[in-house]
Amino acid sequence: LALPPRVRTGIDEFDKMLDGGFMRGDAVMLAGSAGSGKTTLALQYLVNGAAYGEHGIYLSFEQLPDQLYRDAKNFGWDLPKLEQENKLKVICTSPNLLVEEGGAEALLEEPRKEINARRIVVDSLSHLSMFVKEEDMRLQLYRTLMLFKAKELSSLLLWETPQIAGQTFAISDTGTSFLVDAIVMLKFVEINSTIRNAMVVMKMRGSRHDKHLREYQIGSNGIKVEAAFTDYSGLMSGSPTKNASEKFVEMFKSATKK
Amino acid sequence: VILAVQLRNLLADLDRAGSSRFELGEEVLALFQKNPGLIDCPEGLARRIGRTAHEIEADLEYLLTAGVLSARSVGRYRLMFLDRTKVADAQDRSESPKGLK
C-alpha cells in the first residue's frame, strides 16, 4: 500500500503550515535554542507517526533514553510501551559512531528492519558537529542524509541555535542548512516583557508553506500551534514592535476609555 | 520491568558466586538496565557515568564474558550493547538448580 506523499506531524496547525505535512523522505532541520521545544516536537512527530502506522527511530546522542522516557511521560506518551509494540526504537549512542564507516548501518539497520521504520529523529546535529571536523561535517552529513533517503526514512534533524534571546538565525556555520530539504525554526520573542514562542517554516523545497511566524504553546499534550503574530513586526530580531495600525487602535481604545 | 528483574537476579547470582567485579560491574549494568537502547563504544559508555574508558574497561570485559553485553566492531570502534536474549538465557540458567556457579 502506497504511503501518502505527506508526512503528517499530527500537530494540526503545524501540518497546515506545511501544506499537509513534510514531503515524504525529506530531511527536515528543526532549529531552535535550548528550551524551545525541539525534543518535544520531535517526540510528538514520532508518537503521532506510530498512531498513523509510520514507526520511527529516535537517535539520541546526548540525552539518555530514561530521561526521554521520563520527559515524554509528562506529555502522556508511553515510549517504553511503543517500543514493546515495535512502533518505536530509542537508540542512544555517541555521534562519532554514526559517521564512522559502516556506523550508520550498524546502528540503524537492525532496528529499522525490526520495526519497519519510516521516520527518524536525530538529536542533535549540533552535537554531531562537536565530534566531526568542521571541514568534514558537510560531507558526513550528506552521506548520512542520503542513507536515510535510500532507506525511505523521513528525517527530522534537531539543531541547537546558540542564543536564547535576540537574533538566532545563524542556523549553521557548516553549510548544513543547504543540505536539508526543509527548515523549521523555533524561537523566543519578547513581547510586553513576556517570552513567547514563535515558529516559522523558513524553507520547504518543492512545496508551498506558510510564511507567517506563528505562536505555539507547549502544553500538557505537547506542542500546539496557534495564530500568526500579525500585529507585530521585527519578530525575527527577538524584540518586536507593534505595527502602526495596532498602535493606533490601542491609542483609540485608550482615548475612548477616558 | 522484566529486564530489570532479570538483571537484578543475574547480579545477585554473580554476588553469590563471590565475583570481585560485582560492585564495579553493577554501575555499568545499571546504566544499561535504565537505558536498554544504549549502544556505544567504551569511551561513550564511560562518559555517561562520569568515568573514563580505562576505569570501566575490565567491567565491560567481565560483562561481555558473563554474556550480559554483546559487542560489534564498527570501523575503529567496538560497540557494546545489552543483549536481551543473552540476559534472558542467563536468567534461565540462574533459575536452574546448577545456576551460573
Phi-psi region of A193 (alpha: psi -120 to 50; beta: other; left: phi over 0): left
Per-residue confidence (pLDDT) for residue A131, from 0 to 100: 87
Residues A93, B40: C-beta atoms closer than 8 Å: yes
Residues A66, B43: C-beta atoms closer than 8 Å: no
Q: Which residue of A has its CA nearest to B40?
A: A93
Q: Region B10-15: what's the mean pLDDT?
A: 65
Per-residue confidence (pLDDT) for residue A110, from 0 to 100: 93
Confidence band, pLDDT 50/70/90 cuts, at residue B87: low
Q: What is the mean pLDDT of chain B?
A: 76
Contacts of A233 (CB under 8 A, 6+ apart): A240, A241, A243
- All residues of chain A having their beta carbon less than 8 Å from the beta carbon of residue B29 are none
Query: DSSP state, A145?
Result: H
From B24, B8, B5, B48, select the one nearest A67 (Cα to Cα).
B48
- All residues of chain B having their beta carbon less than 8 Å from the beta carbon of residue A87 are none
- All residues of chain A having their beta carbon less than 8 Å from the beta carbon of residue B38 are 64-65, 92-93
- ipTM, interface predicted TM-score of the complex: 0.81
Query: Which helix (H) or strand (E) covers residue A22, if one does?
Result: strand A22-23
Please name the residue that has the C-alpha cell 519497519. Answer: A116
Is residue B55 scored above 70 in pLDDT?
A: yes
Per-residue confidence (pLDDT) for residue A201, from 0 to 100: 96
Is residue B28 scored above 50 in pLDDT?
A: yes
Please name the residue that has the C-alpha cell 504511503. Answer: A3
Q: Which residue of A has its CA nearest to B80?
A: A93
Per-residue confidence (pLDDT) for residue B19, from 0 to 100: 52
In three-state secondary structure terms, A60 is strand
Residues B37, A92: C-beta atoms closer than 8 Å: yes
Q: What pairing do the DSSP bridges indicate for beta strands A55-60 and A88-92? A: parallel
Nearest to A106 among B34, B37, B72 (CB): B72
In three-state secondary structure terms, A57 is strand
Per-residue confidence (pLDDT) for residue A167, from 0 to 100: 56
Nearest to A89 among B37, B75, B77 (CB): B37
| Segments in chain A below pLDDT 50 | none
Instruction: Among B31, B40, B81, pick the best mutation site for testing chain A contact (most A Cβ within 10 A).
Output: B40
A64–chain B Cβ distance below 8 A for any pair: yes
Nearest to B75 among A64, A65, A102 (CB): A102
Q: Region B23-31: what's the mean pLDDT?
A: 77
Is residue B97 scored above 50 in pLDDT?
A: no
A80–chain B Cβ distance below 8 A for any pair: no
Q: Which of residues 107-146 of A touch B (CB under 8 A)?
A: 107
For residues A27 and A179, the answer to whether their CB atoms sit within 8 Å is yes
A78–chain B Cβ distance below 8 A for any pair: no
Q: Region B57-82: what's the mean pLDDT?
A: 89
